[in-house]
Structure formats: C-alpha cells, structure tokens
Amino acid sequence: MTYKFDEIITDRARFREIMDERSSLVQNKTINHIDDICKKYIEASPFIILTTLGVDGLLDTSPKGDSAGFVKILDKK
C-alpha cells in the first residue's frame, strides 16, 4: 500500500512528540452536561437529530422538527 504522507501517526505518544499539548480552550470545550447556553440553543431550535444506540451496537438516527420550543430539557444530563 502506498501512502501520500511522509509519516502515518499510529499512537498518541508519537502524536504528542509532534504536536504541543492542547490549549486550555481545547481542553475545556467539552462538557459532560447541558449548560444554560446549550439549553437555550436547543430549546430555541426548530430542528434536531435524535440518535439512539441499540443493543446490537448500531445507531439509529432520526431528524425531528417542529416550531421552536418543541424540545424541553428536563435535566442537565
């Protein structure tokens, strides 16, 4: 197999040798809950994509839409 790249990075250690550590902005961009900003955005959206994971490991994705406000956030998780 021929690659168009000089090097294929296959592990985290090699990646970290090449790249600097992640900035605090990158490290903090992911949260494990729905914050107030996300809540307002989701509740104002007229369109969402709902995805569930079945016991077989397959994803089922379904677009949903209605007037803004059709989604209510019940808790932060």
Q: State yes or no: pLDDT of 59 exceeds 90.
A: yes
Count of other CB atoms within 10 angstroms of residue 9: 13
**Which residues, 6 or more positions from 62, have their beta carbon under 8 angstroms from its beta carbon?**
49, 50, 51
The mean pLDDT of the chain is 89
Tell me, letter by letter, the H, E, C secondary structure of the chain.
CCCCCCCCCCCHHHHHHHCCCCCHHHHCCCCCCCCHHHHHHHHHCCEEEEEEECCCCCEEEEEEECCCCCCCCCCCC
Supply the pLDDT for residue 1. Answer: 61
pLDDT per position as a tens digit, 19-47: 877 788 888 888 899 999 999 999 999 99
Q: State yes or no: pLDDT of 68 exceeds 80.
A: yes
Supply the pLDDT for residue 24. Answer: 84
Domain boundaries, the chain: 32-77
* This model's pTM is above 0.75: no
Which two structure tokens, joined as six digits, stand for 13? 């250690």
